[in-house]
Amino acid sequence: MKFGTSIQQSIKFLFGFALMACAAVLFSGSSSEKPNLDDSKFKTETIVTGLNMPWSMAFLPDGRALVTERTGKLRIIKGGQLDPKEITGIPKVYFRGQGGLLDVVLHPNYKENGWIYISYSSPKKEGEAGEDGGANTALMRAKLNGYELTNIEHLYKASPNVKGGVHFGGKILFDKKGYVFLTLGERGQKENAQNLGKAQGKMVRLHEDGKIPTDNPFVKTKDALPEIWSYGHRNPQGLVMHPKNGTIWEHEHGPQGGDELNIVEKGKNYGWPLITYGIDYDNSIISDKTEAPGMEQPVIYWKPSIAPCGMTFVTSTKFKDWNGDLLVGSLKFQNIEHLVVKDNKVVKKEVVFEKIGRVRDLKEGPDGNIYVVIESNGSIVKISPKS
């Protein structure tokens, strides 16, 4: 390398870093904010232990709950206890790194149709595109008969298969119009988040039976995958719908700094990796831009990164002071963040329930309490008001 070139690169690095530092002061919220929660109002109880790498949970109408274990098992919680008997019928799962059995969500009309939707990292099968020994995120649905999954239907699989164990996404969401959304990480190949011909770093929208809607934004775009709803994502690990206005909120892991909270809309580009508020793990600059024409800005971003995972809007009357607000879990800092939401903007942010553990999922239960899936010790914690 020539000496002059080295100086120019150093200046570029320092300039880009300074730009991001300035942006952090203006736009980010620090994960080190002191808790503003009055702990006397709430209690936390560990109600289930013994899980192995739990990832997601769903409440059945009969009072039981389903929990996925990333190792490839689907478990039942019954009467506050982990049922020792496992559910059979789970497809072969690519359990590697961040991959495995991921989200579990009930169909909105579950009482009538019995459909359970599950996402998982699916190993490459014969005839599929991509690397031998690789995998990508898939979506299936099935019905539960005792301890067995039946009527299994494989609805969708992202393409191509990629080796490595990072960035599978995997969050499932139903809207109120008969569609199901699935988040897809870019599988460590960041450039493909901008490639509409590959299902990496995307959110896809499907009919409930897996068929592709004819009004998806890129159905008529040459060489684009018709299932894509939005693109330019890194690794989306939170996905919820606003209970009143129906907007779709997503959060995703950034690199060092630059975790994002987004409102996701049809056909929009969320920028990764062309714009980002983060830097790479070796401190190198991924992009010297934090915004660009045609690319969306996050509602907020986190710097330093909190590794957001799990998210729920609060609607319960048990938490009336938080009604309409967001709770976001943190894997890195092992706490929960309470985000006050007004008019689709975050107007206040505070850390609550410090050192609760590595939060993998957050759900508001049918009883109005908040349930937290803790990855680090394989437990489920209930948060409820003190009487």
- Helices first, then strands: H and E counts in the chain: 2, 24
3-class SS letters over the chain? CCHHHHHHHHHHHHHHHHHHHHHHHHHCECCCCCCCCCHHHEEEEEEECCCCCEEEEEECCCCCEEEEECCCEEEEEECCEECCCCCECCCCCCCCCCCCEEEEEECCCHHHHCCEEEEEEEECCCCCCECCCCEEEEEEEEEEECCEEEEEEEEEECCCEECCCCCCCCCEEECCCCEEEEEECCCCCHHHHHCCCCCCCEEEEEECCCCCCCCCCCCCCCCCCCCEEEECCCCEEEEEECCCCCCEEEEECCCECCEEEEEECCCCECCCCCCCCCECCCCCCCCCCCCCCCCCCCCEEECCCCCEEEEEECCCHHHHHHCCCEEEEECCCCCEEEEEEECCEEEEEEEECCCCCCEEEEEECCCCCEEEEECCCCEEEEEEECC
Which of 154, 167, 233, 251 does the annotation list as catalytic?
167
Bin 300: left if φ > 0, else alpha if -120 < ψ < 50, else beta: beta
Instruction: For residue 338, indicate whether it is catalytic.
Output: no
Q: Is the peptide bond before 304 cis (omega within 30 degrees of 0)?
A: yes
Q: Are 308 and 302 in contact (CB under 8 A)?
A: yes
Instruction: State the chain's maximal CA–CA distance in angstroms.
Output: 71
Which has the closest alpha carbon to 106: 41, 155, 170, 57?
57
**271 token code pair:** 């920028």
Type and span of the H or E element at 289: none
Instruction: Please report where in the chains the tokens 């300035």 appear, as a residue.
Output: 22
Active site residues: 167
